[in-house]
């Protein structure tokens, strides 16, 4: 039962995420039906619009989903809205196309006969064309719905929740139980949705198009009753879910703040810690957007007011947000970052934690011995023969791979972007020989890696530091003391141990965060 133990131990979390996944998927597919059906009807009547509309929906389908999500984030922020919009756009093509094809394939003789008995154009559409098109239309809806269930896992990438949260978290920590806890319910959900829609299809399709139902009246009536009950139950559940969701949004407590985090282990631990610390020590309610994306996604959300606080790192804010060249003076980095964030963005930088999660490069001990590697300067002599696997953020940042290669004067034979703990798996299997790592990374201990010294002092200091919107602090001044108390005891050894508990012992980030806060007497 080992691989399924996570599912049994975290059933409440799985059910909550499953409900979120159903809500997000239903909204996206519902919008696709509302928009796609009229579009399909329109292009079947107005032929010149056929190619532009079909071309546009085909083009959307051809764009990679993550790329489309990337385009949506600057415009729509993070959370539910961009996730729903992206999946809605991907769900349009089958509905538009099947509606158009269904109407176009109706025999001209049938339409002529309808005109002959005096039906108007609108009556022909509602009484002839749409009923005859329903089997084809419902096939498109079923395709869209099943596809949307799988695609909606991307919602977790930007903090919208759903079962993708477990999948991404499991990949980050190499926890197969967590991956299965997200993948299996998603698979079952897709099958259930397809079955429900097949019942709806049978219900709405004219009897004349279902010869198997014409055997006897009693069989037909009984089946109709069962279908109506099943559809009624599903409709009631959807109304209950979305009614509750809409009500919660309409009466949202102004005493609620939104916090976020990046996708990897340490950030998930810190995010859960921050949420619990605030909720247990103040009257403030917390809305979580944990695992919502990288630095730029989170900071952009803060600028727009979609996020109130998250924990970042001094060097990251200094280089990646404020666009300064890396420097090694920790006090200069902190002071300048605090000043410029306040002046340019109305964002407060609270007290830094004692731990510094600085970047480093790590290699397998066998590789270190073979090439006599101890420092990054040593690496420069052999880098052209080695392959690197780094996180996507490190691969593209100036204080990441680009800057390191420039400072030390080397280029790897190949450099691949591999997010999460999977880069350690790639290192262990020999697919890559060098990975980026954080000094507090628990997997360094698990894989017994050799850390290469940054002998030229390229990397700036990366002390953990909370970023909070100034307006949020003004509305809730008690936050500063609460957050500072949490950060005060987090040294490098502590963070490495907390990360180890998640990555190696496979505890949940929430459990690890809670146990630490209780042990330190910060919450009861």
Per-residue model confidence as pLDDT tens digits over 33-70: 999 999 999 998 888 898 898 889 888 888 887 777 77
Does 472 fall in a domain? yes
- Same domain assignment for residues 413 and 510: no
Which structural domain, as residue segments, surrounds residue 363?
359-452
The radius of gyration of the chain from alpha carbons, rounded to an integer in Å, stands at: 27
Mean pLDDT over 259-282 rounds to: 91
Residues 35 and 94 both lie in one domain? yes
Environment class of 229 (CB within 10 Å of its CB; exposed 0-12, middle 13-18, buried 19+):
exposed
3-state class (DSSP) for residue 412: coil
Same domain membership, residue 282 and residue 141: no
Q: What is the mean pLDDT of residues 425-451?
A: 86
In a domain, 219, yes or no: no
* Separation of alpha carbons 205 and 360, rounded Å: 62
Residue 100 lies in a domain: yes
> Considering the chain, what percentage of its residues have pLDDT values greater than 70?
86
| Same domain assignment for residues 160 and 61 | yes
pLDDT at 174: 60
Highest mean pLDDT among 115-129, 243-257, 272-286, 501-515: 272-286
| 91, 144: one domain | yes
pLDDT at 522 (0 to 100): 93
Asked if the model's pLDDT at residue 251 lies above 70, the reply is no
76 and 168 assigned to the same domain: yes
Averaged pLDDT of the chain: 83
Q: What is the pLDDT of residues 356-404, one digit of tens each?
A: 888 889 999 999 999 999 999 999 889 999 999 888 778 877 778 888 9
Instruction: Indicate whether 319 and 429 sit together in one domain.
Output: no
CATH number for the domain spanning 494: value is 3.40.190.10
Q: What is the pLDDT confidence band of residue 3, given thresholds at 50, 70 and 90?
A: low
Domains in the chain, number:
3
Rounded mean pLDDT, 304-316: 90
Q: How many beta carbons lie within 10 A of that of residue 234, not counting itself? A: 17
Residue scoring higher pLDDT (437 or 398): 437
114 lies in a domain?
yes
User: Which stretch of 90-104, 293-307, 401-415 has the lowest confidence by average pLDDT?
Assistant: 293-307
At 69 the pLDDT is: 75
Do 384 and 478 sit in the same domain of this protein? no
Identify the band that residue 312 occupies on the pLDDT scale cut at 50, 70 and 90.
very high
Residue 387 and residue 323 share a domain:
no
- Looking at 209, 231, 266, the residue that finishes a domain is 209
Residue 376, CB half-sphere, CA atoms under 13 Å: how many?
24
The residues facing 288 across adjacent strands are 259
Give the span between the Cα atoms of 369 and 401, in whole angstroms: 23
| Higher-confidence position of 506 and 258 | 258
- If asked whether residues 352 and 385 sit together in one domain, one would say no
Q: Examine the domain organization and report whether 448 and 471 are in the same domain.
A: no
| pLDDT of res. 298 | 86
Find the range with the poorest average confidence among 65-74, 298-307, 431-440, 492-501. Answer: 65-74
Distance (Å, rounded) from C-alpha 73 to C-alpha 406?
31
Do 307 and 337 fall into the same domain? yes
């Amino acid at each position: 039962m080992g691989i399924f133990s996570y599912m049994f131990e975290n059933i409440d979390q799985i059910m909550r995420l499953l409900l979120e996944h159903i809500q997000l998927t239903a909204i996206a597919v519902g919008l696709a039906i509302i928009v796609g059906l009229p579009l399909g009807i329109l292009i079947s009547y107005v032929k010149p619009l056929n190619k532009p509309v079909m071309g546009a929906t085909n083009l959307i389908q051809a764009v990679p989903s993550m790329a489309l999500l990337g385009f949506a984030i600057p415009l729509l922020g993070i959370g539910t809205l961009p996730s729903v919009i992206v999946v809605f756009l991907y769900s349009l093509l089958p509905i538009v196309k099947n509606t158009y094809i269904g109407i176009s394939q109706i025999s001209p003789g049938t339409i002529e006969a309808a005109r002959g008995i005096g039906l108007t154009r609108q009556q022909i559409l509602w009484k002839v064309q749409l009923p005859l098109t329903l089997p084809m239309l419902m096939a498109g809806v079923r395709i869209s719905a099943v596809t949307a269930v799988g695609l909606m896992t991307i919602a977790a990438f930007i903090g919208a929740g759903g079962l993708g949260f477990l999948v991404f978290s499991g990949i980050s920590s190499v926890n197969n139980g967590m991956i299965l806890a997200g993948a299996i319910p998603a698979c079952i959900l897709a099958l259930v949705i397809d079955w429900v829609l097949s019942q709806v299809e049978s219900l709405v399709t004219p009897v004349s198009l279902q010869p198997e139902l014409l055997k006897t009246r009693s069989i037909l009536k009984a089946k109709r009753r069962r279908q109506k009950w099943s559809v009624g139950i599903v409709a009631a559940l959807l109304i209950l879910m979305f009614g509750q969701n809409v009500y919660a949004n309409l009466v949202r407590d102004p005493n609620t703040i939104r916090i976020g985090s990046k996708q990897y282990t340490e950030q998930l631990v810190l995010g859960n810690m921050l949420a619990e610390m605030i909720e247990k020590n103040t009257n403030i309610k917390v809305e979580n957007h944990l695992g919502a994306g990288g630095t730029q996604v989170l900071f952009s959300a803060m600028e727009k007011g979609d996020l109130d606080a998250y924990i970042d790192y001094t060097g990251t804010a200094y280089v990646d947000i404020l666009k300064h060249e890396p420097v090694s003076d920790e006090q200069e980095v902190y002071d300048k970052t605090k000043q410029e964030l306040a002046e340019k963005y109305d964002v407060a930088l609270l007290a830094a934690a004692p731990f510094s999660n600085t970047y480093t490069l790590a290699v397998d001990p066998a590789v270190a011995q073979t090439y006599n590697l101890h420092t990054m300067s040593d690496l420069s002599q052999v880098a052209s023969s080695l392959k690197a696997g780094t996180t996507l953020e490190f691969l593209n940042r100036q204080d990441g791979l680009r800057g390191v290669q420039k400072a030390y004067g080397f280029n790897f034979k190949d450099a691949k972007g591999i997010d999460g703990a999977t880069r350690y798996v790639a290192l262990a299997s020999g697919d890559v020989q060098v990975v980026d790592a954080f000094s507090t990374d628990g997997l360094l201990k698990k894989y017994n890696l050799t850390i290469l010294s940054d002998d030229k002092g390229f990397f700036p200091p990366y002390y953990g530091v909370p970023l909070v919107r100034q307006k949020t602090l003004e509305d809730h001044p008690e936050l500063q003391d609460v957050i500072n108390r949490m950060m005060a005891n987090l040294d490098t050894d502590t963070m490495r141990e907390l990360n180890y508990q998640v990555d190696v012992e496979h505890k949940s980030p929430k459990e690890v965060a809670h146990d630490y806060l209780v042990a330190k007497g910060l919450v009861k």
